[in-house]
Amino acid sequence: MRILLVLVFISFMSCGVSKSDKIVKNNSADGIGEETVDTIRIANDSLEYEIIIFEVGFQSWLATQRPPSFYSLPMLEMRNYFMVVEYNNRVNQPFRFDPNLYVQAIDYRPDIHYGMEVNYLLYMYFNFFEQRYKQDLAPGRMWN
């Protein structure tokens, strides 16, 4: 049975972001003897935005990484912008890049302020994705 390897989906219903954000973390087993799929969903009460990450091992990997306070919001926004552009370019080239890895485009706009939590988790997901699948979303990058 083939497991959906990557699904990152961000939907935006308006430009504002409320401060009443909450994280809902769930683990669901696919069956006996199979790996657990981690699901992390971030949404605010008015559903102005939503990010959902389904990825085996992401939640436990995230627990071993630097906390959000280590990063600045402008740095995360800049890095996410460049990596989203590259990721979306690969989504649009299924004959050149594995369509099982690059499943769906990410709607991330630099004119919207998503806040620290969304930017941090998106950045961490890109790092996890690069390490796990040996991808490089920022060729020639000038950061670690």
Separation of alpha carbons 130 and 136, rounded Å: 6
- Do 124 and 62 meet the contact criterion of CB atoms below 8 Å apart? yes
Contact residues for 51 (Cβ-Cβ < 8 A; gap 6+): 8, 9, 10, 40, 41, 42, 43, 118, 121, 122
What is the structure's pLDDT at 142?
A: 58
- Do 14 and 112 meet the contact criterion of CB atoms below 8 Å apart? no
Q: Give per-10-residue mean pLDDT for the chain (144 aa).
A: 33 33 40 49 58 87 96 96 96 96 92 90 95 89 58
Domain residue ranges of the chain, discontinuous segments joined by +: 7-133
Answering whether pTM is above 0.75, one says no
What is the structure's pLDDT at 55?
A: 87
What is the structure's pLDDT at 52?
A: 81
- For residue 58, give Cα distances in angstroms to 15, 16, 40: 28, 28, 9
What is the structure's pLDDT at 138?
A: 85
Cα torsion angle, 127, 28, 64, 72, sign: positive
Separation of alpha carbons 137 and 49, rounded Å: 24
What is the structure's pLDDT at 68?
A: 96
- Do 81 and 55 meet the contact criterion of CB atoms below 8 Å apart? no
